Chain A
């Protein structure tokens, strides 16, 4: 192995794989390092894969990638103790030749992606943890130190695709430690059921069709958080995640929250008889735009979760990871072609590409949402339960006239929130954060 590469990529998740693949395809010498036994063995996702971001890297990915089901129906649930109010959208248009969203199992998907990266010419070493970055006297990053025997490995640039914890970047002093209110802690279980049972329970026509459910309300027990339930071919992924500082404050054990969600009368029948085969936990960066660290420096740049690139409102992360990885790679390929060194100044190219992409545009759009939810928990508690009560009263036929029922529902809502003015102000705040 040569000991100098065009690029070293730390991490073989979606962001690192995208970066390594694009650079290797263009003929750059790439060394990728992952601490897992195989790529994916440390990684967690819901998981919905968004085709577009991957298609721009591997157009024919559908031919070989391990995909579970394509999404034909999306449900949104507002949960209260014993009920849910929901909206759902299903369309036969989603049964298109090249579906837009799939469910996947990340451990298997990452293994597949990594195989493509190696076929493109990158060298991968697994079971190796990067411990630190090597800098020259001028402070430029010139390589990495790992927990393997042997000295440092050098490169023109180190791509930090190390995921949400960002430990390497922090220890090297490139970025601050993460704040507990900028990440969500998520726990998830995978429950196995026969394929036909899933099809029947979710009213699906084919074994390729899938349903995904996003959940707010009592699922987070008053914390800022959400739940999800996704159908895979022969299993159901179910999970819940809340802001870490909320968990620390309420001291609700995350697995208890998950168990309550599983026992909810709207959820339990979907899981009945299933066999749980894995329980996982992982952080999700949810601080949004204002939590993004410095992304570039002399000889290094950050992609994916390490850069806090997650759109929590739309539950998108892996696509931002792949896109930032691809844009970083394209920038580095261009710098090399122009014979320019990888300095912070020249990496403006990457920063500009990011700013021009949906990654930064979406994060900017929802910039105020994390603060909004942190300060206005009623949005995730009061309203979902008031809505559920209103629906119950509306649907229950009990001799009370409809006008009285309507007035009661409105009074209930007003009381729950403590007045119309407060509600108007909530509406205004949401509208402003959404713009």
Chain B
């Protein structure tokens, strides 16, 4: 299963559409501290690695995060721990992802 020619995957919005969230408006629990020298390979990898597709490249080619779909897995926190680019905490109690089945 190494093919890249597969049918395009369903869009992330469609995949997350069924999930329940309690979004804490205006308080993102994941933030990027951009480094002047550019984004680390670890942070760049997050654009593929984040299971909720929260990390994207902006027009300037820099990595951005929009954590509304975040499932709070903690992967970005662990992968980027040594680069210091990510500030991560759990959402306030009661906010964030709400699994129906888990």
Q: How long is the Cα–Cα vector from A158 to B3 in the complex, in angstroms?
A: 49
Question: Footprint of A on B, CB under 8 Å?
Answer: 1-3, 6-7, 9-10, 12, 15-16, 18-19, 22, 42, 45, 48-49, 51-53, 71-75, 77-79, 81, 89-94, 96-102
B53 to chain A, nearest CB (A): 8
Q: Is the CB of B78 within 8 A of A183?
A: yes
Distance between Cα atoms of A40 and B99 in the complex (Å): 7
Question: B45 — which chain A residues lie within 8 A by C-beta?
Answer: 247-249, 251
Mask of A134-158 contacts with B, CB within 8 angstroms, 1/0: 0000000000001110000000000
Q: Which residues of A contact B98 (CB under 8 A)?
A: 36-37, 41
A260 close to chain B: CB less than 8 A: yes
> In the complex, A370→B73 CA distance in Å?
21
Asked if A165 and B92 sit within 8 Å, CB to CB, the answer is no
The answer to whether the Cβ of A264 comes within 8 Å of any Cβ in the partner chain is yes
A175, B68: Cα distance in complex, Å: 29
> CA of A180 to CA of B80 in the docked complex: distance in angstroms?
9
Q: A165-B77, A180-B78, A247-B49 are in contact. Are A279 and B18 (CB under 8 A)?
A: yes
User: Which single residue of chain B is at the shortest CB-CB distance from A277?
Assistant: B18
Contacts of B78 in A (CB 8 A): 177-180, 183, 244, 283
Q: Is the Cβ of B101 less than 8 Å from the Cβ of A165?
A: no
B93 lies within 8 A of A222 (CB) = no
CA A279 to CA B99, docked complex, whole Å: 9
Contacts of A105 in B (CB 8 A): 101-102
In the complex, are the beta carbons of A278 and B99 less than 8 A apart? yes
B-contacting 9-mer, from A48-56, A123-131, A309-317? A123-131
Indicate whether A47 reaches chain B with its CB closer than 8 angstroms: yes
Instruction: Please tell me if the beta carbons of A127 and B49 are within 8 angstroms of each other in the complex.
Output: no
Report whether B51 and A187 are in contact in the complex, using a CB–CB cutoff of 8 Å.
yes
Q: How many residues of A contact B (CB 8 A)?
A: 65
Does chain B have a CB within 8 A of A190?
yes
- Could you pull out 27 A-B pairs where Cβ atoms are within 8 angstroms? A37-B22, A41-B97, A41-B98, A43-B99, A43-B102, A44-B102, A81-B1, A167-B90, A177-B81, A190-B101, A218-B1, A218-B2, A221-B1, A222-B2, A237-B101, A244-B75, A247-B49, A253-B51, A253-B53, A254-B51, A255-B12, A256-B9, A279-B18, A280-B19, A280-B101, A281-B52, A281-B75
B19 & A127 in contact (Cβ 8 Å cutoff): no
With most chain A CB atoms within 10 A of its CB, the pick from B3, B10, B72, B94 is B94
User: Besides the contacts A177-B78, A247-B48, A279-B16, what 13 more A-B pairs have beta carbons closer than 8 Å?
Assistant: A43-B99, A47-B102, A107-B101, A110-B102, A222-B2, A251-B49, A252-B48, A253-B53, A254-B49, A280-B19, A280-B101, A281-B52, A283-B73
The answer to whether A128 touches B93, judged by C-beta atoms less than 8 angstroms apart, is yes
- A10 CB, nearest partner CB in chain B, Å: 12
A residues with a Cβ closer than 8 A to B are 35-37, 40-45, 47, 79, 81, 105-108, 110, 126-129, 146-148, 164-165, 167, 177-180, 183, 185, 187, 190, 218-219, 221-222, 235, 237, 244-245, 247-249, 251-256, 259-261, 263-264, 276-283
Please give me the 7 A-B residue pairs with the lowest Cβ-Cβ distance, nearest first: A127-B94, A106-B102, A281-B51, A107-B102, A128-B93, A127-B93, A251-B48
CA distance A164 to B49 in the complex (A): 18
Cα–Cα, bound, A96→B74 (Å): 40
Q: Compute how far the CA of A260 lies from the CA of B45 in the bound complex, rounded to whole angstroms.
A: 20
* Most chain B beta carbons < 10 A, residue from A107, A218, A222, A278: A278
Cα distance A251–B93 in the bound complex, in angstroms: 32
The verdict on A283 contacting B9 (CB below 8 Å), with A81-B1, A167-B90, A278-B18 known, is no
Which of chain A's residues have a CB closer than 8 A to the CB of B7?
A: 263
By beta carbon, the residue of chain B nearest A249 is: B45
Name A183's closest neighbour in chain B (CB-CB). Answer: B78
| Residue of chain B at shortest CB distance from A275 | B18
Contacts A251-B48, A256-B9, A264-B1: A40 and B81 contacting too (C-beta < 8 A)? no
**Cα–Cα distance between A185 and B101 once the two chains are bound (Å):** 18
